[in-house]
């Protein structure tokens, strides 16, 4: 049986752990609010961008942009967006389970976030490039990733690009989801990653034929890559929101568990202490009786 000193030592160590997880929970909670806010403010922009794209596409007849070309899919690229750090519950684990479902031989991976790169490298999958992004993802970081996959696609090295990321549903739920990125087939697909309500697009009067200035090629040639870059940025923001939420929940669970353990250990400690006192008393009285 453990001595009182052992138990005391364990209580102390668990208390330290609880303190750390509690602190991490607080930090994650603060960051989560910021990240969620950042993910939400981009919505009106995303919505308007989608409306523009949809209307532009219906307004042009027979226009074909290289980014819209759909080819039979031989090789495809998947952008895995994970977190940089662990200790965020099952977030990365769930994501990587989806990765293992993909065919190793025809898929090349592009990763964002350290954990994702590590996983792809560890499981010996083809890693085309790895990117990093900061706590508050910047547009430039998203643009770098987006440009890279567009290059892959335009050079014909891959025939389709998908993005795998933990979609933010609410603080408790994050869903790993695989969304198509390239080719920009049906423009409605662009909305998928941004969970913009699709009804609003169809409500819009799309019968109008637009004039383009200077010409449609130039305008769409700018608009399409921009919208891809923006979509990528939005995905990074959502991933951050998911990560912070998952971490907060995981840390809260850890803190609760630690508190429970402290409670149990304290009970055991007190029991043992009492038993010891009783034993000592007994020894003293028996000794006294033997003398007299």
Scanning the structure block, which residue is given the tokens 């009285």?
A: 285
* 15 is a site residue for other proteins (CB under 8 A): no
Cβ distance to other proteins smaller for residue 103 or 211: 211
Q: Which of residues 232-271 bind other proteins (CB under 8 A)?
A: 233
* Identified catalytic residue from 7, 80, 88, 91: 88
Cα 60 from chain centroid (whole Å): 37
CB of 120 to other proteins, least distance (A): 23
CB of 77 to other proteins, least distance (A): 20
Pairing between β-strand 76-81 and β-strand 126-131 as defined by DSSP bridges? unpaired
Q: Which of 45, 74, 154, 173 binds other proteins (CB under 8 A)?
A: 45
Q: Which of residues 142-181 bind other proteins (CB under 8 A)?
A: 143-144
* 40 is a site residue for other proteins (CB under 8 A): no
Q: Which of 64, 103, 199, 211 binds other proteins (CB under 8 A)?
A: 211
Options 6-14, 18-26, 41-49, 190-198: segment touching other proteins (CB under 8 A): 41-49
Beta bridge partners of 110: 79, 129
* 214 is a site residue for other proteins (CB under 8 A): yes
Q: Which of residues 46-75 bind other proteins (CB under 8 A)?
A: 48-49, 51-52, 55-56, 59
* 212 is a site residue for other proteins (CB under 8 A): yes
d(CA 60, CA 64): 9
88: annotated active-site residue: yes
Contacts 24+ apart (CB under 8 A), 88-91: 88/243, 88/246, 88/247, 88/250, 89/246, 89/247, 89/249, 89/250, 89/253, 90/246, 91/166, 91/174, 91/242, 91/243, 91/246, 91/247
275: tokens are 């038993």
CB of 251 to other proteins, least distance (A): 29
Options 16-24, 27-35, 205-213, 279-287: segment touching other proteins (CB under 8 A): 205-213
Contacts 24+ apart (CB under 8 A), 156-161: 157/75, 157/77, 157/108, 158/75, 158/76, 158/77, 158/108, 159/71, 159/72, 159/73, 159/74, 159/75, 159/76, 160/73, 160/76, 160/77, 161/76, 161/77, 161/78, 161/79
Which residues of the chain form contacts with other proteins (CB under 8 A)? 41-42, 44-45, 48-49, 51-52, 55-56, 59, 139-140, 143-144, 205, 208-214, 216, 218-219, 222-223, 226, 230, 233
Residues identified as active-site:
88
């Amino acid at each position: 049986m453990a001595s009182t000193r052992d138990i005391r030592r364990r209580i102390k160590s668990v208390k330290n752990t609880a303190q750390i997880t509690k602190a991490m929970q607080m930090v994650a909670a603060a960051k989560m609010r910021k990240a969620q806010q950042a993910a939400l403010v981009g919505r009106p922009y995303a919505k308007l961008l989608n409306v523009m794209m949809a209307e532009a596409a219906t307004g042009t007849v027979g226009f074909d942009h290289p980014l819209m070309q759909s080819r039979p899919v031989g090789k495809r690229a998947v952008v895995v967006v994970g977190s940089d750090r662990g200790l965020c519950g099952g977030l990365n684990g769930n994501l990587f389970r989806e990765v293992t479902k993909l065919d190793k031989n025809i898929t090349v991976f592009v990763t964002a976030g350290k954990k994702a790169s590590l996983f792809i490298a560890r499981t010996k999958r083809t890693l085309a490039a790895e990117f990093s992004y900061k706590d508050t993802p910047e547009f430039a970081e998203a643009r770098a990733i987006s440009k890279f996959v567009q290059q892959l696609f335009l050079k014909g090295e891959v025939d389709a690009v998908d993005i795998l990321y933990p979609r933010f549903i609410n603080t408790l739920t994050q869903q790993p989801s695989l969304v198509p990125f390239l080719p920009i087939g049906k423009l409605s697909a662009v909305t998928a990653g941004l969970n913009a309500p699709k009804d609003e697009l169809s409500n819009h009067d799309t019968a109008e034929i637009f004039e383009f200035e200077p010409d449609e090629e130039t305008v769409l040639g700018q608009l399409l890559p921009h919208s891809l870059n923006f979509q990528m940025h939005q995905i990074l923001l959502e991933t951050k929101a998911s990560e912070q939420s998952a971490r907060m929940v995981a840390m809260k669970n850890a803190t609760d568990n630690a508190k429970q353990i402290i409670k149990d250990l304290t009970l055991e400690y007190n029991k043992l202490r009492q038993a010891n006192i009783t034993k000592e008393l007994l020894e003293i009285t028996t000794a006294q009786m033997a003398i007299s």
